[in-house]
């Protein structure tokens, strides 16, 4: 699946840039819907009930609103309007329900707000990247940093992680060697971008190599924490995988957990270090 997914993502970014990467934005919306539905399934095991379809609709509120603004010229206020609509629905949807249905209102509202935020709001920052100058290169480096972090962490853990696993209870199979390997490779990628793509990754505020190192390190750290955060959620609910839609990877949420948390960190870091220079 990795060998198919990565080339597919790169192809969408490079060959379908129309309307501020509408194809990529639609992909983000779909992944957010599926990830939110899986998250709802995990929350249900903790007695926080919300249906998968409803969760999927709530989960796309962020990326859908941002896509309307970026690709179709809607006002940026559409983001706030859609969020308010979703939040209002959660608050009033059980007002006229039976007494038995009212008993789970608190858990339902809690779950509803959770699936609105994760992974959708985090994934919204990928859509925001599509309106940056040279957005195709910005997004590709983001994907490269996250995918390289995951791959290098796996390889380093396999080779050098035998005696240093179990340091984090949320994911005891992960090793210190893996964490270091992933961070190191992604940091090097961040450094390399300033030399190979200087027209996109040039900083006027601090030396560009330092900015590249910061970008790579912070984005990789966020990707690692995103993976660990989802592991903690699954572990608390005694769930091994968020789903089984992707052979060999588990669920959609298992696949985009690193991408989700890394997206706002990468975007913000890039904006302050390079785009706003």
Each residue's pLDDT tens digit, 113-147: 999 999 999 999 999 999 999 999 999 999 999 99
- Taking the C-alpha atoms of residue 198 and residue 42, their distance in angstroms, rounded to an integer, is 43
Token duo for residue 216: 């790579």
Among 83-87, 111-115, 139-143, 272-276, the range of highest mean pLDDT: 139-143
- Taking the C-alpha atoms of residue 69 and residue 23, their distance in angstroms, rounded to an integer, is 15
State the DSSP code for 229.
H
- Taking the C-alpha atoms of residue 121 and residue 32, their distance in angstroms, rounded to an integer, is 9
- The residues spanned by each domain of the chain are 1-131, 133-277
Radius of gyration of the chain measured on its C-alpha atoms: 19
The 10s digit of each residue's pLDDT in 177-217 is: 999 999 999 999 999 999 999 999 999 889 999 999 999 99
């Amino acid at each position: 699946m990795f060998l198919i997914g990565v080339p597919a993502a790169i192809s969408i970014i490079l060959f379908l840039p129309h309307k501020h990467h509408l194809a990529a934005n639609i992909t983000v919306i779909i992944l957010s819907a599926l990830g939110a539905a899986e998250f709802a399934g995990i929350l249900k095991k903790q007695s926080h009930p919300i249906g998968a379809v409803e969760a999927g609709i709530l989960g796309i509120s962020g990326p859908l609103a941002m896509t309307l603004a970026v690709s179709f010229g809607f006002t940026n206020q559409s983001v706030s309007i859609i969020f308010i609509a979703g939040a209002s629905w959660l608050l009033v949807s059980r007002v006229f329900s039976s007494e038995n249905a009212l008993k789970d209102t608190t858990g339902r509202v809690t779950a509803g707000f959770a699936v609105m935020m994760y992974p959708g709001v985090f994934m919204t920052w990928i859509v925001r990247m599509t309106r940056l100058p040279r957005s195709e290169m910005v997004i590709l480096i983001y994907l490269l940093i996250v995918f390289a972090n995951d791959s290098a962490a796996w390889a380093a853990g396999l080779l050098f992680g035998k005696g240093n696993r179990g340091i984090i209870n949320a994911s005891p199979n992960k090793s210190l060697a893996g964490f270091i390997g992933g961070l190191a490779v992604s940091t090097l990628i961040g450094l390399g971008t300033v030399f190979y793509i200087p027209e996109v990754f040039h900083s006027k505020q601090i030396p560009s190599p330092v900015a590249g190192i910061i970008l790579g390190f912070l984005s990789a750290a966020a990707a690692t924490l995103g993976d660990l955060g989802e592991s903690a959620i699954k572990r608390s609910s005694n769930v091994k995988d968020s789903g089984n839609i992707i052979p060999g990877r588990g669920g959609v949420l298992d696949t985009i957990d690193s991408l989700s948390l890394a997206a706002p960190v990468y975007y913000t870091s890039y904006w302050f270090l390079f785009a706003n220079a």
